[in-house]
Structure 1
Amino acid sequence: MKFTLSWLKDHLDTEASLDEILVALTQVGLEVEGVDDPAAKLGAFRIARILTAERHPQADKLQVLSVDTGEGDPLQVVCGAPNARAGLVGVFGAPGTYVPGLDVTLKIAAIRGVESRGMMCSMRELELSDAHEGIIELPFDAPVGEAYAQWAGLTDPVIDIAITPNRQDCMGVRGIARDLAAAGLGELKPLDVPAIRGGFPCPIDIRIEDAEGCPAYFGRVVRGVKNGASPEWLANRLKAVGQRPISALVDITNYVMLDHGRPLHVYDLATLKGALVARRARDGETVLALNGKTYTLDPAITVIADDVDVHDLGGIMGGEHSGVTETTTDVVIECAYFTPEHIARTGQKLGLTSDARTRFERGVDPAFLGDGLAIATRLVQQLCGGEASDVVEAGEPPLGVRTLRFDPNLTEQLAGLAVPADRQRAILSSLGFGVDAGWTVLIPSWRRDIDGLADLVEEIVRIEGIDKVPSTPLPRAEGVARPTATPAQLVERKVRRTAAARGLNEAVTWSFVSEAEAQVFGGGAWTLANPISEDLKVMRPSLLPGLIAAAKRNADRGATAIRLFEVGRRYLADAERPTLGFVLAGDKAPRNWQGGRAQGFDAYDAKAEAIAILAAAGAPVDRLQVMEPVSGVYHPGRSATLRLGPKTVLAEFGELHPSTTRAFDIDGTVIAGEIYLDAIPAKRATGFMRTAYRPPALQPVTRDFAFLVPADRAADELVRAVKGADKVAIIDARLFDVFTGQGVPEGQKSLAIEVTLQPGDKSFTDADLQAIAAKIVAAATKIGASLRG
């Protein structure tokens, strides 16, 4: 929300300085995002007169000017503006002056061999408009040597504040002034609402057929208007806050919206056919909006229409067909109340945002319809002339009386700040609340956000000053503090530290994704009713969409090795699932004199990360089984799952399927994985201390075995069979070679396994070793393997 200092002072009688106002705004919860002070930005520029203008000796399009700046001898300036001529009065920047439109600081320079000591400036170079066809031309009697900003009246700072969604009352300058007055920075000026009598009956019928979407619809006709350019004061105010002046009638509606937070609309009466009706759209109806786009409507959308056409997306944007022009002579001024929830749903459905929608979906003041219409009518008559009709009031705005029974002691109980009761009453009264002797508080119509007693406490504390709330330490119980982290939180801490220690960079991505992104991962079970945008509509079914998008952003910015992870929640139909996701992309190792070409990541890198992180989480990694993947987002031949038994999936990893990478528009091979933290079995609480570690007295023994197995048999199955052949003697078994070729029958492969045997209280005898080897061969035979000869 932007406004100028002078605009604020139209509503606030104050002697406070700009700095004091900025501090007070932030203290009452209206955070200042920026201040644009043109007087400071343009303070160094002076009014100057061109005395002579001669052709540059080395360039046909340049001139050498002699410029009187009002300070001593004339200065020589090289200028390329086509309108530069002797006698012209313009704006001059001396060497050392910063030119905001060019982002340069002027200095003495030679241009085509001719020295130039400054610059005659255009409007765009001073960021006053987009005009740059030539340098600024001022009246001949403009005072040479005077500061241009001071002479031109460019001394009104523009303040930009952030409005939180609950503060709909501050979507207009008057609401901001009310807060500052309550904070003690001045007095809120009385609201001047004119009483304008109608000179004739309203010639158009105004009615409501959709009371749910539009409970109240006020309007009147003003005939005999003359539409044209707005006066300078109005145009300057709108331009200062980023609004483009269009015409007096349109600018009046924008001004009232910014001044009072009350959107209005004007129709050209000559374009309307029959009654003006607030109704539901019919299936297939279309409207050409003022933004030049055509929207197809349905019965869930409230529109303003006549007997023939739809003219307005109610509360969001007007239609182009009935918009006012320079030839307009009779207008209908509309001031309506639209249901906030209905406006929000319509705006989301159409993907259409506007200043009006921003205010209506937060909730405008339902008691301000008549006053807003009167203020707009007065401005129309002052700037465009005309005679006003009687007002037509269709429907009733929701003006239900809302009260709360307040106890002043709640302020200290809830906020920890002791405020005298009389001061609390004064604060609430200054904000527009009614407070009777028994502390029954009447909530003003413009404060839709006030719902309970805690809201009243918040109002008192923010005006009194949050900085006054004392810092009170919580009492500390005697003895050793009990741990507060849950086992699940401890696991998350461990895996986060492990992933970071292994060289992965933590990312924090949105918990929401678009419907298209969710569909790649099987679709989302949770869809938001009121999303921030269409791209953030579905609660993520996987952590990978956000990580893949982050990897793409890094790659687009030149990152060659991308290692990202995130600990968060997946949102499935049955519950939220704690998960660690990771993405590896780019080059694992850069090219060098030893390895030649750069080396990329593969599925085995993902497997190593998954096993290391599962080990840190306390999963029994020695019992994990590598099995086929369950998700279609991975490449079917280059991915797998880690499981405890056939049903308990602890992790899924591998190379992403090409269709997945295409969906996210990311180039190259992308390796990813997810570790399902809630699937890791919890450790049993034994209640006993761990026994002291005692290393074996005897060294382990290794034996190698080579087995022939079918080519499609998973090696992991054989390793597990071998390891379980003798659970006392065999402490480890690992695959160290896979061979196919000469000596191996077709359709089979040779798997070489190293088995580690640990003797107990005595060394193994040859007979012991032969017995263990027989058990190993027998176990392998049961799964279809045979000892290779």
Structure 2
Amino acid sequence: MGARSINNIVDATNFVMLNIGQPLHAFDISKIKSQNSKVNIEVREENGRLMITDGHADKVLGVAGVKGGPESLITESTTDVILESANFDGISVRKTSAALKLRTDASQRFEQGIPPELAGFGALCGAEMIQNLAGGEIAGFVDVYPRPQERRIVSVTLEKINKVLGTDLSEKEVSDAFARLGLKSEGNFTVRVPFERLDLEIPEDLIEEVARIVGYDKIPALPLEPDPSLGKPPVNPNFYAAEKTRDELMSQGYSEVYTSVFAERGERAVLNKVGGGKPYLRDGLIPGLRDALERNSRHKDILGLKKIKLFEIGTVWKDGEEKIIVGTADERGVSEKPLKPLSADKYDDLPLSAAMHYQPFSKYPYIVRDVAFWTAEKTGAEKIIQREAGPLLVKISLFDKFEKNGRMSLAYRLVFQSFERTLTEQEVNEIILKIQEVLGKSGFEIR
């Protein structure tokens, strides 16, 4: 199941966590028992971190919601166990985990939010499994639950469901959808939310569940009707200027890229560093664009481009404030300038997308070869090349053409690539020799 097997006690706690989502932790009682034979365990905050201690000394038994400590480790000699099933604040666990640079299966689950009610189920499941695997008796049970989980009631009408989704669902269809989700509804779809569904808080959450069960493909694509009460939306000058600049650069053959906002040097350091090598916010777009230009230039053949022209519209931190910059990169060099805001009464209509369907790409490297020849006519050569090259030819482009002494010279660039394996130089060379041989027999003179 992805968890390392340690012993039957720890394996049982891991199984419960993976099965129902409730992390558990087992303590060896003999290692934490005080002199008066009483066991004291408390959770306290130290330097912004939740720590589990023995309650009367400085012995740390674990990091709450993250990881247990070696002081109370379960071993082969363990005979008495305390099983902890708790609910820790996700934000606090996240901060503790980040501060210690320690991510665990338990911390990830607490960060995402676990229903408090689940702790009791987890304790019962874990205790019964340990009893079945290792024997022994359940000696006692302590439940400290100062703030019981509130059971929410959320209501939504059939009219609102159909209005939001743009559908014409019947009352029976909606009732069936809730029933399949285990949501019991009363009257006009008033739902008593199960304790494990922390995500159901407002009517729109219930509407989303209905859409998911009915099927998104069953929801018709309809244009949104403007709400007259909202009035005309204000135009953001920076956003409008960015859209206009983007359209202009793309019409000139530039492709947009997004580079990292972090840099090795800059004016403003990042508090929570993503990587040790780039601890600052960038103060310009040029370094990132220069790297992008260099990387993409190496692959212009497979991209089918004669020239690489890139641009980026992004934020930088410079002169003590955040600024929006436009940067371009091409064979002439790399440059940047501030984005000038543009005012407008309304946004332009969105153009219909002319994007093609996604085309898969190969993860294997490609090989480039050039074929040049003389011909008295202009037609036929490209079809011969494509036929003889076969399916390994993924791109062909005419990159050079000139006339001399009544004949025409044509030069084609061929890109070979496989979706199944790495091609060898030998097999590509054999294909090129075959192409040249057939071209020669067809009246073309290889250069």
TM-score range, shorter chain: 0.5 to 0.7
1:549 and 1:328 map into 2 onto residues whose CA distance is 61
Question: Shift of the alpha carbon at 1:506?
Answer: 2.8
Distance change (3 Å), C-alpha of 1:550 and 1:338:
farther
Equivalent residue number for residue 221 of structure 2:
471
1:399 and 1:501 map into 2 onto residues whose CA distance is 57
Counterpart selection for 2:313 from 563, 567, 581: 567
The reply on whether 1:338 has 2:79 as its aligned counterpart is: no
Q: In proportion to residue count, which structure has more helix?
A: 2
Distance change (3 Å), C-alpha of 1:557 and 1:323:
farther
Question: Shift of the alpha carbon at 1:451?
Answer: 2.2
Distance change (3 Å), C-alpha of 1:452 and 1:493:
closer
Question: Shift of the alpha carbon at 1:415?
Answer: 1.1
CA contact (8 A) 1:540 1:571 kept: yes
CA contact (8 A) 2:16 2:126 kept: yes
Distance change (3 Å), C-alpha of 1:425 and 1:682:
closer
Counterpart of 1:395 in 2: which secondary structure?
Answer: coil
1:444 and 1:334 map into 2 onto residues whose CA distance is 24
CA contact (8 A) 1:554 1:562 kept: no
1:343 and 1:537 map into 2 onto residues whose CA distance is 26
Matched residue type, 2:42: A
Distance change (3 Å), C-alpha of 1:489 and 1:410:
same
1:682 and 1:361 map into 2 onto residues whose CA distance is 43
Cα RMSD of the aligned pairs, angstroms, is 4.0
The reply on whether 1:581 has 2:341 as its aligned counterpart is: no
Matched residue type, 1:302: L
Matched residue type, 1:437: G
CA contact (8 A) 2:27 2:83 kept: yes
The reply on whether 1:262 has 2:22 as its aligned counterpart is: yes
**Structure 2: gaps spanning 5 or more residues:** 227-233, 301-306, 345-447
> Deviation digits for residues 471-525 of structure 1, max 9, x if unmatched?
235679xxxxxxx998755643554466567776531235x53xxx38x22116x
1:466 and 1:460 map into 2 onto residues whose CA distance is 10
Equivalent residue number for residue 676 of structure 1:
338
Equivalent residue number for residue 544 of structure 1:
285
2:290 and 2:6 map into 1 onto residues whose CA distance is 41
Q: In proportion to residue count, which structure has more strand?
A: 1
Counterpart selection for 2:211 from 456, 461, 470: 461
Question: Shift of the alpha carbon at 1:249?
Answer: 1.3
Equivalent residue number for residue 41 of structure 2:
277
Distance change (3 Å), C-alpha of 1:467 and 1:539:
farther
2:6 and 2:75 map into 1 onto residues whose CA distance is 10
2:44 and 2:144 map into 1 onto residues whose CA distance is 16
Question: Shift of the alpha carbon at 1:436?
Answer: 2.7
2:219 and 2:281 map into 1 onto residues whose CA distance is 39
Counterpart of 1:393 in 2: which secondary structure?
Answer: coil
Equivalent residue number for residue 266 of structure 2:
521
CA contact (8 A) 2:66 2:106 kept: yes
> Deviation digits for residues 175-207 of structure 1, max 9, x if unmatched?
xxxxxxxxxxxxxxxxxxxxxxxxxxxxxxxxx
1:178-197 correspondence to structure 2 within 5 Å: none
Distance change (3 Å), C-alpha of 1:521 and 1:447:
same
> Deviation digits for residues 56-96 of structure 1, max 9, x if unmatched?
xxxxxxxxxxxxxxxxxxxxxxxxxxxxxxxxxxxxxxxxx
Distance change (3 Å), C-alpha of 1:385 and 1:454:
same
CA contact (8 A) 1:450 1:456 kept: yes
Matched residue type, 1:678: K
CA contact (8 A) 1:551 1:562 kept: no
Distance change (3 Å), C-alpha of 1:564 and 1:379:
same
2:267 and 2:111 map into 1 onto residues whose CA distance is 33
Distance change (3 Å), C-alpha of 1:558 and 1:317:
farther
CA contact (8 A) 1:579 1:677 kept: yes
Counterpart of 1:338 in 2: which secondary structure?
Answer: coil
Question: Shift of the alpha carbon at 1:347?
Answer: 1.9
CA contact (8 A) 1:544 1:583 kept: no
1:409-558 correspondence to structure 2 within 5 Å: 409-437=159-187, 439-473=189-223, 491-493=241-243, 495-496=245-246, 499=249, 505-510=255-260, 512-513=261-262, 517=263, 520-523=265-268, 540=281, 542-544=283-285, 547=288, 550-551=291-292, 554=295
Q: Please give the TM-score of this superposition, normalised by the length of structure 2.
A: 0.62
1:41-80 correspondence to structure 2 within 5 Å: none
2:318 and 2:198 map into 1 onto residues whose CA distance is 35
> Deviation digits for residues 409-438 of structure 1, max 9, x if unmatched?
211011112332233234334434342335
Question: Shift of the alpha carbon at 1:323?
Answer: 1.9
2:221 and 2:134 map into 1 onto residues whose CA distance is 58
CA contact (8 A) 2:60 2:71 kept: no
1:536 and 1:451 map into 2 onto residues whose CA distance is 42
Counterpart of 2:112 in 1: which secondary structure?
Answer: coil
Q: Please give the TM-score of this superposition, normalised by the length of structure 1.
A: 0.37
**Structure 1: gaps spanning 5 or more residues:** 1-237, 283-297, 477-483, 589-604, 607-671, 684-789
Question: Shift of the alpha carbon at 1:551?
Answer: 3.9
CA contact (8 A) 1:547 1:565 kept: no
Determine what percentage of the aligned residue pairs are the same residue. 28
1:172-211 correspondence to structure 2 within 5 Å: none
